[in-house]
Structure 1
Amino acid sequence: MPAEERLTRLPALPDTPGYAHAVAVSGRLVFVSGQVAVDETGCVVGVDDLAAQTRQALSNLHHVISRFGADWSDVVKFTWYVVDVSDVQTLRDVRDEILRPALGEVHNPASTLVQVAALFGPEFLVEVEAVVAVPDKPSDV
C-alpha cells in the first residue's frame, strides 16, 4: 500500500475526529476530479438526501480509483464541498460506512471540508475529490 504513514497525533494539536492530519505516500499520485451524485446515465441520485448523495459520489469515486488498481486504503486526501456544513455528521457516517470495511481501525485519509454557496447544479448537496497514491503497477487507463 503506497500510504505509508498516517499522522494522527501531535503534541501541539488536538487528536483528529477520524481523519489524519497528514499522510506520507510512495508511488504514483492520481488526482481525481470532484464526483457528485449522478448515476451512469447522468441522472441525479438522492435529491434532497445528503446520505444518498454522499454514497453515490463515493461510489463514483471508487469506480475511478479502481481503474488504477487502487482501493480506499490508497486514498490519501479527500476534499469535500458541501452546501450545508451543519449536516456534516451524515457525511461522516456514510464515509465511515463505506471506508471502514477497507480501512479497519486505520484512520481515514487527510481531509478538508468546505462549505460552498452552491455546486454546479442546484440539486447537488455534496462533491468529493481525492488524491490517491496508486500501486506502481501499470493500468489499462
Structure 2
Amino acid sequence: MKIDYIDPPGSVPAQGLYTSVGHVAGDQYRFVAGQLSVNAAGDIVGAGDFNAQFDQVFGNLKGVIEGLGGTMASVVKFTTFTTSRDYIQPFMDKRAAHFPEWYPSGIFPPNTLLIVQGLVKPEFILEVEAVVAI
C-alpha cells in the first residue's frame, strides 16, 4: 500500500511536523489535518476570538479541499476540537449560518465535537479536521 502526503494549493504553513493531507493510493478518501486559525503568511488570526477563528479555520479547510479538487460537499466527516464548553453554542451558531450554503440539501456530514484542555499553541481555541472523498 502506498501512502502519499501532500500540501495542496490553499494550504497554510504547518504549525508543526505534519502535512496537510494523507492519501492512500487507489483510495478516493483524503485525510485532512486539523486546520487552525493561521493565515497564508503563517500568522495566528483572532487570538481569543472564536468567530474570527471559526472563519479562518473553515476558510483554511475549504482552501485545502478546493486545492484537492473538491468542495465542502466532499466532506465525509469532521472532527472538531475546541478548548471550552463556552464555545459550543457559538460553534453551533456559526455552523447554522454557513452549512446551508455548503450543504443545500440540508444533509450534513457527521461531526465529532471534543472539548480539549488545549491545542498546539495557547492562542488557538478551535481546530477542525476532515475526511474528504475526492
Q: Under TM normalisation by the shorter chain, which class is it? A: 0.7 to 0.9
Q: Of Structure 1 and Structure 2, which has the larger fraction of its residues in strand?
A: 1
**Once superposed, what is the RMSD of the aligned Cα atoms?**
1.3
State TM-score, norm by structure 1. 0.72
Measure, in 2, the Cα distance between the counterparts of 1:32 and 1:114.
Answer: 17
Q: Structure 1 residue 106: deviation in Å?
A: 2.0
How far apart are 1:74 and its partner, in Å? 1.0
Correspondences of 1:104-115 after superposition (within 5 Å): 104-115=104-115
4+ aligned runs moved over 2 Å, structure 1: 95-99
Task: Map 1:47-62 to 2 at 5 A.
Answer: 47-62=47-62
- 2:126 aligned with 1:126, yes or no? yes
Partners in 1 of 2:96 and 2:132 — Cα distance? 18
Structure 2 counterparts to residues 63-82 of structure 1, below 5 A? 63-82=63-82
Structure 2 segments unaligned to the other structure (5+ residues): 1-26
CA displacement at 1:110 relative to structure 2: 0.5
Structure 1 position 38, deviation (Å): 0.7
Note the alpha carbon deviations across 1:70-113, whole angstroms, 9 max, x for none. Answer: 11111010000100023212112222323321211422210101
Equivalent in the alignment of 1:16:
none
Does the aligned pair in 2 maintain the 1:72–1:99 contact within 8 Å?
A: no
Q: Which has the larger radius of gyration?
A: 1
Equivalent residue pairs, number: 108
Q: Which amino acid aligns with 2:44?
A: V
If asked which structure has higher relative contact order (CA below 8 Å, sep 6+), I would say 1
